[in-house]
Chain A
Amino acid sequence: MTEAMTHNIENRDEFNVEINGTVGKPLIDDPKFTTRNVDVHYGDKQAIFGVDLDVGKNEVLAMIGPSGCGKSTYLRCLNRMNDTIPICKVTGDFKLDGEDIYAKNQDPVLLRSRVGIVFQKPNPFPKSIYDNVAYGARLHGLTSNRAELDDLVEKSLIRAGLFKEVKDDLHKPGTGLSGGQQQRLCIARTIAVDPEVILMDEPTSALDPIATALIEELMIELSGKYTIAIVTHSMQQAARVSSRTAYFHMGKLVEVNDTDSVFTNPEHQLTENYITGRFG
């Protein structure tokens, strides 16, 4: 998110509604991730204001909201991707299974193998399909011999729903695949290091409806094993894949509730206005 985007939103009158705290159920009993008092600044500009939110074990949490609302910024706090932006300052408590992920002795690279991320645009490395998937396992030394690595690559590709399509072309470049296949390759690469949480930042916005449907199916399947947090601009996608939905608005967390109730009977007027395609 750029400063200009934040600025734009604030200038729109219809968005200037006061938000006092979060309605619904932002906190849950058995969380994988707990985040408290999260503030994020880009230079002088504050992008996120005091967010308290839990992500449950094996749930798909969808984060929705207008552009510049802070949902992607928040998501990137969860595996310290914001560390790579020099002007970005993140404060607050972030705990993964009770462990502080911003602690001084926490290795961000190791953290990102536990909390993987899939981006909007598929970004396979300019390597073979096999090497793309094997990359993380080699980096973290997860396998001891070639046979184990072959097995891991195959399993990851199967789990990402891509194996059948590429099994005879494992040594062809990953960049030669279609957009949807590339995105599933990135998911295979992410799950190859056996993460606990998968973050997805608009993972299907560059894909056609069929590729999107495949990825959505995959998300639902993967949620049996992983905890998933997804940022999406498609409200139908949030409704289809997630069990809980969080609505962000101008850096504040407005409402978190079961996806069913958010889409049939939201508690907050702003949530209703956003999901029904209104402003006001």
Chain B
Amino acid sequence: MELGQHISQRYNAELEDIRNKVMTMGGLVEKQTSEAIKALLDRDGELANEVASSDDVINQMEVDIDEECTRVIALRQPTAGDLRLVIAVVKVITDLERIGDEAAKIAHYAKKLAKKETVTGMHAELSHLSQLIMSMLQDSLDAFARLDSEQAIKILSQDIKLHKEFNVISRLSITHMMEDQRNIKQALQVNWCARSLERIGAHSQNLCEYVIYLVNGKDIRHTNLEHVRRKYFPEV
């Protein structure tokens, strides 16, 4: 799939500009998420504070890119791959903005958790889940940048692993709450962090669905993943 080569150089530049802005927004969201996780795992209250109050730039980018997409639709009437790019971008930035929101939530809880003693075992489990989420997010953004739908389908297949990791933390939180009522507040906060991490994973998977739509022209949302894989990606 090629972005350039339009007869109109300006149209090339407009689409390229939209894509670059999405990549920049993706980079910011990735940084935001990684710092929120770092603040959580390192119990760094100061960093958490910074992250919790810095998603304005991401929000503004969502609005700007949306506006640019509207302009391209109105002025250029994109078709085929160009149309799918613009539609995919409009959806991608919504998910990116939500990831930013989840990162801010994690940072918010990280601030509170930094002031308390660590709950035994929780830290290690959060670290596992965080690693998985970060790699899913990075790989999804990478798949979008390289228009790699095969990588996208691989990331979508990590669904079960993601839920397994999340469930481990849920069970652990419940155990801690049952052991000692004084742990409830903290265990809930850990659980909410895990929930936000899981949401980031789900949003990253949405990005992958848009990559497949963009590259292959197939809308695979709400369909059986195995079926999609067999039909369109027999090699993966």
- A binding-site residues for B, Cβ under 8 Å: 235-236, 239, 263-266, 271-273, 275-280
Contacts and interface: CB of A to CB of B under 8 A. Distances in A.
B79 A275 contact: yes
B6 interface: yes
18 contacts: A236-B77, A239-B79, A263-B79, A263-B80, A263-B83, A264-B80, A264-B217, A265-B80, A265-B84, A272-B81, A273-B5, A276-B80, A277-B6, A277-B7, A278-B6, A279-B5, A279-B7, A280-B2
Interface of B: 2, 5-8, 11, 77-84, 217
A277 B79 CA distance: 9
Contacts of A239: 79
A276 B8 CA distance: 10
A277 B84 contact: no
Given A276-B82, A278-B2, 8 more contacts: A263-B80, A264-B80, A264-B217, A265-B217, A272-B81, A278-B6, A279-B5, A280-B5
A264 B83 contact: yes
Contacts of A235: 79
Contacts of B78: 276
A273 B7 CA distance: 10
A103 B79 CA distance: 42
B77 A276 contact: no
A271 B84 CA distance: 15
A280 B80 CA distance: 15
Nearest to B82: A276
Q: Which 3 A-B pairs have the closest CB atoms?
A: A265-B217, A278-B5, A275-B79
A264 B82 CA distance: 9
Nearest to A269: B2
Contacts of B81: 272, 276
A266 B1 CA distance: 12
B36 to A, nearest CB: 37
A273 B5 CA distance: 9
Contacts of B82: 276
Contacts of A277: 6-8, 11
B81 to A, nearest CB: 6
A236 B82 CA distance: 14
Contact of B80 (A236, A275, A279): A275
A271 to B, nearest CB: 8
Nearest to A263: B79
Name, among A265, A272, A280, the residue most crowded by chain B CB atoms within 10 Å (CB to CB). A265
Contacts of A236: 77
Nearest to B83: A264
A217 to B, nearest CB: 19
Name, among A273, A275, A278, A279, the residue most crowded by chain B CB atoms within 10 Å (CB to CB). A278
Contacts of B217: 264-265
